[in-house]
Amino acid sequence: MLEIKDLKKSFREPSGSLISILDVPTFSMKAGEQVVLRGESGCGKTTLLHTISGLLDCDAGSIKLDGIELTKYSEAARDRIRADKLGYVFQTFNLLPAFTALENVKLGMTFARKAIRSERAAELLKSVGLADRMHYLPSQLSVGQQQRVAVARALANQPRLLLADEPTANVDPANQSKIIELIQEVCTQESVAILLVTHSDEVASRFSRIDRFEDLNRATEHTQTSVDE
Amino acid sequence: MSLFRIALRNLWFRKLPSFLTMLSMALGVALVVLVLTISGMIERTFKQSDNVGYNLIIGSKGSSIQLTFNTVMFLSEPVENIPYWYYMEFIPGADGRAKEYQRVGGKLGEPDRKGKYASLTSDGFAIPMCMGDYVGPFRCIGTTPQYFELLRYGEKDSAYEFSEGRNFVDYSDENGYYEAVIGSQVASVMKLKVGDQIYASHGKEGGEEHDDGFRIVGILKPTGTPNDRGAFVNMEGFYLLQGHIAPDRDPITGIEVKGSAVAPERDSKLSRVRLPIEKREVTAVLVKGSGMSAIGLEDQVKKSSFATAVSPVREITGLLEQFVTPVTLGLFILTSLVCVVSAIGIMVSIYNSMSERKRDIAVMRALGASRDHVLQIILIESTMIAVGGGLVGWLCGHLAGPMSNIWTEKTTGTTIGFFTSASSQELWLVPGMVLIGILAGVVPAISAYRTSVVKSL
């Protein structure tokens, strides 16, 4: 379902020198597989997720998602593929404050080449336990509820792969377990593969496949912050 | 969820800045529409006045603008008078002057001769007007029944019609010389009807009222001309009012002979005794000659020592071109600048919001929105602000006209409807303003287009 070969990504420093961030000879995931990626802060995990999602161009290599070679496509085409085949859950939830919970989920459907189905959005919110909070704004929801909405939104388009970047970093331990359980449960129901980045041992212990990023990545230089371009 | 709905929710989320930006656009467009309304109204007033039905105004020497304003629009201060005998020189027909002498009576040199300018007015008319009094806030005009019989108005050369009653006559058994016709606004503002008496106040609005009243025998249908706010009384009755009798003057020095302004003996209000010619003066004479004769007549009158002739059309057009048009243009430029400032306001407002919305834009991109989607959303937002503000401004600008009718009707004699000012300029100007507003969204839209997703997430 996801196959990465000889993926390389480097950034130019203000001084002009190149820093190699990613050098991944091979990485693959099967359909519906749930994988945890662990590694030090700033080692390039988020950069890898951004590259898989097509938000970042890679310098070399191949990324095949569901049989589609992402690196051959333009940015606009990658946007469409992302909308159709990928779901994204962020560390800081990133719900849009102007939209209700239901609208945030429907927003996930807006950019995909599928019809917007309000019933599906409502069903997803029901499945994450927010049937009575559909018309609440993010500011009216608790932290845990906001992350549930983010999960529902990521799954709105029935993606093939869910990318989750430390989705429990900002929630208390009690909610951590609930959210991970929820993600795993809903993704199993929907046959969606998960690639989840976490620092938490507790979270990692819930997954059968745990990959160490340092083992995958041969790049020696690490970024200070994972979002540097 | 459509891009339109996303843009609408974004605007709704930032209600106050969105409202204020829309308000500034609305104010700009309303000002432009208002300026167009005012300039359209002024032009309309002038154009209606330039088909007054006569070629020349004969009046005392002095400001030709003042004579025109006073005679045509009933505005400005009343001008000096000219003797009645001079008016008689313009009466058309070989025996016009002689007949008038027989009708009025009094002292007149060479009473049987033809009027000096009679041949130049042979196809037209000469109608005298006496002014200086008021009925309530409206001008009182002493004239002859010919005013409504011979004059035409408007683009279609319409004849004056009465919504009630009839024209006044030279003499009637019931009212003698004291009959009046009032304009539609005089009737509505002063709540007057046929059969009521009106009393002219001497010299100024709110001045001392004359004892003898005039019976209203007719109310004019609305004409959209200054005549709507005139109270027209029979000149014969007007002359008999206290203070309207011209004194005798020393033939050499022109100085008034004291105690000579005496009214003739009359046994009742219905008496047929008239004020003699030598005691009469007129404020203006409305003259219609045939084509080229008007030019010759104007030149001849201007050569006289105490009267002048002005072409109302030329005066009005000249005033429009020299004063009104540049002022309107200036106002128009100023208000257009207001709109440009409003458009910059839209740009600044959306642009400033970009920094706080970078994360939202990045999230949308991560959810699959393309750069084009983001660009479109921002442009839809600026379009909604510009079109919304433009529509509100357009409505307010047009509503301001009818709402100001209480004032404009009274002061200019014209009324403004909702679409009165809808000019061809408006057809491109208002959409042009809105387009500038929309274009103002381009800069922030490009900024959104360029937002780095990876940096902003």
- Interface contact flag, B453 A55, Cβ < 8 Å: yes
pLDDT at A162 over 90: yes
* pLDDT of the residue at B422: 59
In a domain, A221, yes or no: no
Could you tell me the residue range of the domain that residue A198 belongs to? 2-216
Poorest-confidence range of B149-158, B162-171, B179-188, B400-409?
B400-409
- Interface contact flag, B370 A99, Cβ < 8 Å: no
In a domain, A222, yes or no: no
CATH code at position A36: 3.40.50.300
A132 secondary structure, DSSP code: G
In a domain, A54, yes or no: yes
- Interface contact flag, B454 A111, Cβ < 8 Å: no
Q: How many domains is chain A partitioned into structurally?
A: 1
pLDDT at B165 over 90: yes
CA dist B267 to B244, B263, B358, Å?
19, 12, 96
* pLDDT of the residue at A35: 94
Q: For residue B266, what are the contacts with CB-CB under 8 A and spacing of at least 6?
A: B240, B273
pLDDT at A227 over 50: no
The torsion defined by the Cα of B444, B447, B453 and B457, in degrees rounded to 10, comes to: -50
Q: Residue A82: its chain B contacts at CB < 8 A?
A: 366-368
- Interface contact flag, A111 B1, Cβ < 8 Å: no
B367: nearest CB among A97, A111, A116: A111
A111: nearest CB among B13, B362, B369: B369
Q: Which residue has the tokens 């994450």?
A: A128
Q: What is the mean pLDDT of chain B?
A: 85
How many Cβ atoms are within 10 Å of B251's Cβ, its own excluded? 6
Confidence of residue A226 (pLDDT cuts 50, 70, 90): very low
- The CA-CA-CA angle for residues A138, A143, A146, to 5°, reads 45
pLDDT at B140 over 90: yes
Closest to A87 (Cα-Cα) out of A152, A29, A176: A152
CA distance A202 to A195: 16
pLDDT single digits (tens) B297-336: 888 888 887 799 998 888 878 877 777 778 878 877 887 7
- Interface contact flag, B366 A53, Cβ < 8 Å: yes
- Give the residue from chain A lying closest to B365, CA to CA: A79
Poorest-confidence range of B103-107, B237-241, B281-285, B338-342?
B338-342
pLDDT at A195 over 70: yes
CA distance A97 to B451: 19
Confidence of residue A49 (pLDDT cuts 50, 70, 90): very high
Q: Tell me the nearest-neighbour CA distance from A212 into chain B, angstroms.
A: 23
The answer to whether B28 touches B433, Cβ cutoff 8 Å, is yes
Q: Which residue has the tokens 């629009």?
A: B73
In a domain, A227, yes or no: no
Confidence of residue A38 (pLDDT cuts 50, 70, 90): very high
pLDDT single digits (tens) B198-255: 999 987 776 788 888 999 999 999 888 889 989 999 999 999 988 888 887 777 777 7
B363: nearest CB among A56, A96, A103: A96
Confidence of residue A25 (pLDDT cuts 50, 70, 90): very high
Q: Is the pTM of this model over 0.80?
A: no
Closest to B100 (Cα-Cα) out of B146, B111, B147: B111
In a domain, A112, yes or no: yes
- Interface contact flag, B368 A111, Cβ < 8 Å: yes
pLDDT single digits (tens) A63-116: 999 889 999 998 889 988 998 899 988 887 789 999 999 999 998 788 887 776
Q: Tell me the nearest-neighbour CA distance from B370 into chain A, angstroms.
A: 6
* Bridge partner residues of B82 (DSSP): B282
CA distance B284 to B362: 79
Q: Tell me the nearest-neighbour CA distance from A135 into chain B, angstroms.
A: 14
Check if B65 contacts A (Cβ < 8 Å): no
CA distance B256 to B248: 6
pLDDT at A224 over 60: no
Q: Residue A83: its chain B contacts at CB < 8 A?
A: 367-369
pLDDT at A229 over 50: no
CA distance B389 to B33: 13
- Give the residue from chain A lying closest to B373, CA to CA: A111
